Structure 1
Amino acid sequence: MESQLWIGKIDAAIEILRSIATDKIKSESNIERLIGYFKRNRNYIPCYALRKSLGLRISSNKAEKVNDLLVATRQKHNGMSWSKDGSVALATIITLYKNNEHEQWHENSKIHFKFIS
């Protein structure tokens, strides 16, 4: 299945999951949950093989580290407790300022998106 996901074949990966014998599965509900995840997120699951051949990143580790440095660290101090919405709002505001997009957002409610590898 891993190789099917690597080349972006979501339907093939789902078929492999469905073909696993039930006596080999600890929890059928977990398999169905994974299939549901693939179906819901199929438009967001990249073809990693293509990204690699184009020299693009295939990992989110840099974004996760930046989030940890800018958002998570701040939230963990002084015993703060954050809701999911509050955490997303803080990340959004910090990102606007770090990318110098806050004025554009305040004036026009728009952000200039730029693609990077």
Structure 2
Amino acid sequence: MDPLQFYKCLADDTRLHILLLLTQVEKACVCDFISALELDQPKISRHLASLRKCGLLRDERRGKWVYYQIHNELPNWAKQVLTLSAANNKPYFQNTLTRLKSAQTDANTCK
């Protein structure tokens, strides 16, 4: 992955939020992102597909649910950019992180 491709993939508020959230929780399903980002399923799914196509995310099917996480083969420099961005910009995504964690602890989410 070259830097231009990487930064183009980050150049959307929703996609950036998804990636920053995943630096904090490791894995999440579509329904978690729906709650956290307060967007509809088709929009979330389009952004997740775009991030998969960029090679930033990988998915894992568990029954009827698909869980996403940052791709383990992402170059170290790219992982560091995401980690440092998350660590130094908590106000940017803190509300969505709180909603995501709440969704993940809700017994009805992704069940």
Q: TM range, normalised to the smaller chain?
A: under 0.3
Larger Rg over CA atoms? 1
Q: Could you state the TM-score of these two structures normalised by the residue count of structure 2?
A: 0.25
Larger proportion of strand: 2
Larger proportion of helix: 1
Q: Could you state the TM-score of these two structures normalised by the residue count of structure 1?
A: 0.24
Greater relative contact order, per chain length (Cα 8 Å cut-off, separation 6+): 2
